[in-house]
Copies of this chain bind each other. A is one copy, B any other.
Amino acid sequence: MPTPDRTAAKEKFMAFLEEKNLRITSQRRAIVETVFGTDQHFTAEQLLEWARERDASVSRATVYRTLPLLTESGLVHEMDFGKDYKIYDPNYADHPNHNHIICDDCDKIVEFESDKLDALETEISSKLGFSVKSQQLRINASCEEMKKLGACKNKDH
């Protein structure tokens, strides 16, 4: 599974800018190329560093100004794992509602989606008089199955 249709994402974002009468500057181009040139999650600071490799003139302020545009466009997802920085996911358009299970023992993170879960959340929310805008489920767990199956290689015993 190589990088999906990143060109489409880039173009969608350019269209989004145009729609809002915002300009396509060289710095924004560098940032967008960077964001959709990876599948990895990243922090604002990482994005700054990477974007500067493409265009040294990109400043911290511009990165922080562009990030909200990216999330507003729906192409990038902002996530908060309780650390003191935020994490961004450039694959959001392809997996708009995914959740995370984190193994407390080995720090492995597995993503999953569930229509049942989404439906249940919507149902509960509307009962309480809310309309869902976004959701974030984090499950801390231990991956005992994995250990049984073959984690002997990376742990002692």
Please give the residue numbers on chain A whose beta carbons come within 8 Å of chain B beta carbons, in ascending order.
Answer: 80, 82, 101, 103-104, 110, 112, 114, 116-117, 120-121, 124-125, 128-146, 149
Contact = CB atoms under 8 A, between A and B. Distances in A.
Nearest to A104: B133
Given A124-B112, A128-B110, A136 B137 contact: yes
How many monomers of this chain does the complex have? Answer: 2
A99 B12 CA distance: 35
Given A101-B128, A130-B103, A143-B129, A135 B135 contact: no
Nearest to A78: B82
A135 B139 contact: yes
Given A82-B80, A112-B124, A135 B140 contact: yes
B133 A141 contact: yes
